[in-house]
Amino acid sequence: MNATTRPGESVAASVLYVAFELSKHTWKVAVTSGFGVAPLVRTVASGDWAGVTRACAAARVRFQVPATAPVVSCYEAGPDGFWIHRALVQRGVANRVVDSSSIATPRRRRVKSDRLDALKLVAMLVRVCLGERHVWSEVHVPSAAVEAARQVSRERAALTKERTRLRNQLRGWLQAVGARWPARRAAGWWTTVRDGLDAPLSAALQARIARAVDRLDLVEAQVATLEAAQAQQVATAAVASPLAALVAVKGVATTTASTLLDEGLVWRAFRNRRQVGGLLGFAPAKYESGTISRDQGIRRAGNTRLQTVAIQLAWNWVRWQPDSALSRWYAAQFGPGKRARRIGIVALARKLVIALWRYVTAGVVPDGTVLKPAA
């Protein structure tokens, strides 16, 4: 069967194209065989692979696609993660996970429904599979082992934020009554704190602080456990491993190295520095139209965990690697001014991540970099 698109043009219907529009309770499954063929749309329960198989079988009959024809599918990345991708791959389906923010939408107000989204997605899938470029961006799916390994660094980052939140909360409660966060805090320290009127804290506030301190102690204990696990991972890492190579660089801590690798400095298999920069973000956003040319600053799009670590790493790099080529470039470009240095540190972070990528993948040591002495 041939699906006619324009006079004199046709596309052989030798592939079954399937798009999933996912929701919590149901999935919309849109199936077609090529351009110009009205898709078959079915609704199945979430995770109902038997229903998906029935929908594909019905589509094969309708579009006269042979049973041996390959199946290509796609869905938008979201809360369901990658287990659906792995389930499809196990069933012999060539699946693509789409970055939803890369899908173009009309500027005017549009009608929104799961059915319409599924129809649009399957039409875009056909375009992509037939060679059209820049239709969307796809998510690089990590292996199950990589996804499991990065749970430690991500949990530590979340717990660190929770620790900061609890500490700021305690300081705020004390400041509201004219008290101060004591520098030395023994067990039950809140019972000895005096407020701005030199009176003890109220019983209700003391009870609230006690509960918050219990939560803070638990968070700190969990952070310590995760940091010990990361340190053990470094201690047992092979000498030639990317983790050992990163930790050997002066100014790169265990947590930083773990986060860089967990977020994909190696496993994403970048082909060039532009792809590394694309993951990090921090790219300039130019606006040019006719004679108008305007700098809109930097784009915020990118891996936020990697961005946070990259900025921290850049400040540490300036401190611990002052004679490196990157630090000298930073000092020459942005000078001693505080505002210029805060702006320039973003550019340094981008260059630094790319330099470290080359270091761990190709063994190219950044110019002037000092390595830690061997233990």
Over residues 162-188, the pLDDT tens digits come to 999 999 999 999 999 999 999 889 999
pLDDT for 2 equals 43
Percent of the chain at pLDDT > 70 equals: 96
For residue 59, being part of any structural domain is answered with yes
Residue type, 54: R
Coil, strand or helix at 168:
helix
* pLDDT band at residue 7 under the 50/70/90 scheme: very low
List Cβ neighbours of 307 (8 Å cut-off, separation of 6 or more).
280, 281, 282, 349
Mean pLDDT of 346-371: 94
Using only C-alpha atoms, what is the Rg of the chain?
A: 27
Q: Is the pLDDT of residue 6 over 50?
A: no
Both 158 and 134 in one domain: the answer is no
Both 17 and 130 in one domain: the answer is yes
Both 166 and 84 in one domain: the answer is no
CATH of the domain at 78: 3.30.420
**Contact between 17 and 36 (Cβ < 8 Å):** no
pLDDT for 293 equals 84
Both 13 and 123 in one domain: the answer is yes
More confident: 270 or 285: 270
pLDDT for 35 equals 87
For residue 86, being part of any structural domain is answered with yes
Last residue of a domain, one of 86, 112, 141: 141
Tens of pLDDT, residue by residue over 115-139, are: 999 999 999 999 999 999 999 999 9
For residue 197, being part of any structural domain is answered with yes
* pLDDT band at residue 282 under the 50/70/90 scheme: confident
pTM of the full structure: 0.82
For residue 368, being part of any structural domain is answered with no
**CA nearest 272: which of 349, 362, 345?**
362
Q: Is the pLDDT of residue 5 over 70?
A: no
pLDDT for 300 equals 75
Q: What percent helix, strand, coil does the chain show, rounded to 5?
A: 50, 15, 35
Mean pLDDT of 260-269: 92
* pLDDT band at residue 11 under the 50/70/90 scheme: very low
pLDDT for 9 equals 37
**Contact between 91 and 38 (Cβ < 8 Å):** no
Torsion of CA 358, 364, 368, 370, to 10 degrees: 90
Tens of pLDDT, residue by residue over 27-54, are: 999 999 998 899 999 999 999 999 999 9
For residue 372, being part of any structural domain is answered with no
pLDDT for 3 equals 42
Mean pLDDT of 315-322: 95
* pLDDT band at residue 15 under the 50/70/90 scheme: very high
pLDDT for 8 equals 37
What range does the domain containing 168 cover? 146-236
More confident: 327 or 3: 327
Both 255 and 348 in one domain: the answer is yes
Both 60 and 131 in one domain: the answer is yes
For residue 324, being part of any structural domain is answered with yes
pLDDT for 281 equals 86
**Contact between 287 and 293 (Cβ < 8 Å):** yes
For residue 164, being part of any structural domain is answered with yes
Tens of pLDDT, residue by residue over 55-101, are: 999 999 999 999 999 999 999 999 999 999 999 999 999 999 999 98
Last residue of a domain, one of 189, 218, 236: 236
How far apart are the C-alpha atoms of 116 and 105, rounded to whole Å? Answer: 12
Lowest mean pLDDT among 3-12, 115-124, 139-148, 306-315: 3-12
Q: How many domains does the chain have?
A: 3
Tens of pLDDT, residue by residue over 99-112, are: 998 898 887 877 88
Tens of pLDDT, residue by residue over 182-236, are: 988 999 999 999 999 999 999 999 999 999 999 999 999 999 999 999 999 999 9
Q: In the predicted model, what is the mean pLDDT of the chain?
A: 91
pLDDT for 375 equals 60
